[in-house]
Copies of this chain bind each other. A is one copy, B any other.
Amino acid sequence: MPEEVILQAQRELPDWDGQGFSLLETPFSGVKFKRLLGRTRDTLRELLKIPDHFHILFMHGGASAQFSLVPLNLLGDSKCAAYVDSGYWSRKAIHEAHRYCQVEHAAIAEDYIHTSTNTAYCHITSNETADGLQLSLALKASTPLIVDMTSDFLVRPIDFEPIGLIYAGAQKNIGPAGLTIVIVRDDLLGRAHALTPTVLNYTYQVEAGSLVNTPLTYSIYLANLVFQWIGHQGGITSMAKRSQTRSAMIYDVIDASEGFYRCDIPPDQRSRMNLCFKLPDEPLTQLFIDHAAWSGLVNLKGHVQKGGIRASLYNAMPDAGVVALADFMHRFRKQYADL
């Protein structure tokens, strides 16, 4: 999270909005919180230019809960849904979907996803954090697109035309873990399975303005601060440009390293959020991580199932950190490339 946001949250922790007590203790049914919730929703709608026929929900459970809630809420009478397998996280979604329906494996051909006529929706994971792969969002499909945007939400503009639903866990570009944003198209409501828990039913949450049950009050407060911060930075277009410049800085070092650093993802699919690359061998990889940590560059270890290095350039990471990483990678290669 951006430093400014954390410092503001720190200042306001014991006494929010002059009420004399913490937001942690503010009743969700009170006027003050409801106003905050409305403002948060409006700011998000403005940032992403979300059309009026989409509803914004603030839900519990994290993105992984949505792996089940998407089929539970959206299958309706259909017994089949299409899923694009792009890596680690989409496979998690597919694994869970198998419990609810027949899964059709869909492929992307020239930015189009063709699915059979009986599929209720087509699910994609727009950015794969473990694989370092990001899909184009200029996709079209023959059925509503359901997008897990957990790791690149608020980083690029969204064309809502092909979209049926977007979900995003908060812990990457929004705020603390747990809060889940769901943006759902109006005509997809009303088809939940009878066993869907009431508080996890999109339709009931839309009707109640995300207040069927006590919402994640503190996380919504933090999300609002982050949304405002993004607005002050120039909005989503600015975030998109910034992430392109920042990721290019690192990929340039990789591509100019004569094979010392290796990124196996084709250039047009490389993630701007999670840059995954490998070093020549395991000892050098470990040395890289250790030296980097000494230089104050932490959390560079690749996903546990993938190994190698992963640099995550979420919105809140300061530019100086990216410059420092590029510089470190230069120096590290100079020192160790010829050993």
Contacts and interface: CB of A to CB of B under 8 A. Distances in A.
Interface of A: 1, 3, 6-7, 9-10, 13-14, 22, 24-25, 27-29, 60-65, 67-69, 72, 96, 99-100, 169, 171, 175-179, 193-195, 197-200, 212-219, 222, 299, 304, 316
Contacts of A29: 304
A65 B217 contact: no
A195 B99 contact: yes
A178 B218 CA distance: 9
Contacts of A304: 29
Contacts of A100: 195
A213 B65 contact: yes
19 contacts: A1-B24, A1-B25, A6-B24, A60-B65, A61-B61, A61-B199, A62-B199, A62-B213, A64-B198, A64-B199, A64-B213, A68-B198, A68-B200, A169-B214, A176-B217, A178-B178, A178-B216, A197-B200, A218-B218
B9 A178 contact: no
Contacts of A62: 60, 199, 213-214
A194 B64 contact: no
B22 A1 contact: yes
Contacts of A3: 14
Given A25-B1, A178-B178, A214-B64, A96 B10 contact: no
Nearest to A176: B218
Given A13-B13, A62-B214, A177-B217, 9 more contacts: A1-B25, A60-B62, A61-B200, A62-B213, A65-B200, A72-B195, A176-B216, A178-B179, A193-B195
* Nearest 5 CB-CB pairings of A with B: A68-B197, A64-B213, A10-B13, A178-B216, A60-B61
A13 B22 contact: no
Contacts of A60: 60-62, 65, 178
B195 A195 contact: yes
A72 B67 CA distance: 17
A219 B177 CA distance: 9
B195 A96 contact: no
Contacts of A193: 195
Contacts of A199: 61-62, 64-65, 67-68
A255 B100 CA distance: 57
A193 B175 CA distance: 32
Contacts of A219: 176, 178
Given A68-B198, A100-B195, A199-B68, A24 B175 contact: yes
B13 A6 contact: yes
A177 B28 contact: yes
A10 to B, nearest CB: 4
Contacts of A96: 197-198
Contacts of A13: 6, 9-10, 13
A213 B195 CA distance: 22
